[in-house]
Amino acid sequence: MSILVDKNTRLLGQGITGHEGLFHTQEMVKYGTQVVAGVTPGKGGEWLLDGKIPVFDSVRLAVEATGANTSVVFVPARFAPDALFESADAGISLIVCITEGIPVQDMMRVRNYLDQKGVRLVGPNCPGVLTPGEAKVGIIPGDIAIPGNVGVVSRSGTLTYEVLYALKEVGVGASTCVGIGGDPINGTDFIDALSMFEADPHTEKIVLIGEIGGTDEENAAEFIADHMTKPVVAFIAGQTAPPGKRMGHAGAIIESGSGLAEDKIKALQAVGVRVAKHPEEIPSLLE
């Protein structure tokens, strides 16, 4: 079992012919993900990776021809909102958006539209989703995790990799890792992922990686108290960040005294979540 992606995921790549899109598509194919199509307007009819992946001019054509049900978006920021709208209109049920730098106002429109359509979005500005041994959608390195029973959800891309590798080093595997991204307006949030992990019979424990800025971690703490039966271990990045300075993600900023790491840690600890002082402590806290 897993959440979001598995061996049955039929993936298409938007912006697949660009440098980043092509490189990461090769990595996803190597991992065993079913990449069934690419979409780049004006390049329909071409084939990639030695004739393995057909390229289409539109998502609708790609879906009709290949039965793709998931999209990964590598489209540049100024064109990404239209790419997201296009996938939703074509019947894609899960969109993973790697693109960073999409304006907040654009993402507000996109999020509202996808919610109306009932489309699940992961990202933007995220590393994607990895179900070890089954499928990877995005840019998470496939060799840093092994299959297991720990669900991982993270706002931080780099810390995601660090934690997955630390777990692997002690023989602990992941059921699915979801990098939700750290932008102010995104799709899937902590509560969405926690809810899916709670319902997944293969996930027995959960790691939550948060960071400064916003109130997502505090909201997650309330959800954990009210709805979670599985143990959750957490780490909050940015504990030494100065107020008013953006740290990494657009959403990782302390403003007017809100979004402090200490407040997030207190909220999580108050509901029984064990919070690591350093990422490498997470495997021992899971024991």
3-state DSSP assignment of residue 165 = helix
- Quote the CA–CA distance of 23 and 28 in Å, as a whole number: 9
Q: Which one, of 3, 46, 6, 50, lies nearest residue 26 by Cα? A: 50
* Cα angle, residue 207 at apex, residues 201 and 209 outer, rounded to 5°: 140
Alpha helices in the chain (DSSP H): 19-31, 59-66, 80-89, 104-117, 157-169, 190-199, 216-227, 261-270, 282-286
Distance CA 16, CA 75 (A): 8
Q: Which two tokens stand for residue 189?
A: 């949030």
Q: Catalytic annotation on 249?
A: yes
Cα 140-142-146 angle, rounded to 5 deg:
115
Catalytic residue among 24, 202, 249, 278: 249
Residue 255: Cβ-neighbour burial (10 angstroms; 0-12, 13-18, 19+): exposed
Single-letter residue type at 3: I
Helix pair angle (190-199, 216-227), 10° resolution: 30
* C-alpha 17 chain-centroid distance: 22
Q: DSSP for 25-91?
A: HHHHHHHT-EEEEEE-TT-TT-EETTTTEEEESSHHHHHHHH---EEEE---TTTHHHHHHHHHHTT
Report how far residue 249's alpha carbon sits from residue 232's, in angstroms, rounded to the nearest whole number.
24
Active site residues: 249
